[in-house]
Amino acid sequence: MTLIKFDHIAPIYDHFMLPFERGALKRWRRKLWEGVKGGAVLEVGVGTGANLPFYPEGGAVVGLDRSVRMLRRARGRGLEMAVLGDVEALPFGDATFDDVVSTLVFCSVGDVAKALREVRRVLKPGGLLHMIEHGRPEDWKGPLFDLLNPLTVLLMEEHINRNVHAAVVAAGYEVLKVENLTGDGLFKLIVARRPPDPRYNRGL
Spatial strand order of the sheet with 123-134 comes to 81-84, 60-65, 40-44, 97-103, 123-134, 187-193, 174-180
91: helix, strand or coil? coil
Among 36, 41, 87, 128, binds ligand SAM (CB under 6 A): 87
Site string for ligand SAM, 44-63 (x = CB under 6 A): xxxx--x-------------
User: Which of positions 1-30 make contact with ligand SAM (CB under 6 A)?
Assistant: 6
CB of 49 to ligand SAM, least distance (A): 8
CB of 165 to ligand SAM, least distance (A): 18
Among 52, 86, 114, 124, binds ligand SAM (CB under 6 A): 86
Element holding 189 (H helix, E strand)? strand 187-193
Q: For ligand SAM, which is the closer residue by CB, 111 or 146?
A: 111
Q: Which residues contact 165 (CB under 8 A, 6 or more apart)?
A: 135, 175, 178, 188, 190
Among 42, 104, 119, 190, binds ligand SAM (CB under 6 A): 104
Residue nearest to ligand SAM (CB): 47
Span of 33-41, 97-105, 142-150, 173-181 interacting with ligand SAM by CB under 6 A: 97-105
Q: How far apart are CA 195 and CA 155, in angstroms?
A: 37
163: helix, strand or coil? coil
Q: Does 65 bind ligand SAM (CB under 6 A)?
A: yes
Q: Tell me how many degrees the CA angle 173-189-31 measures, rounded to the nearest 5.
A: 120
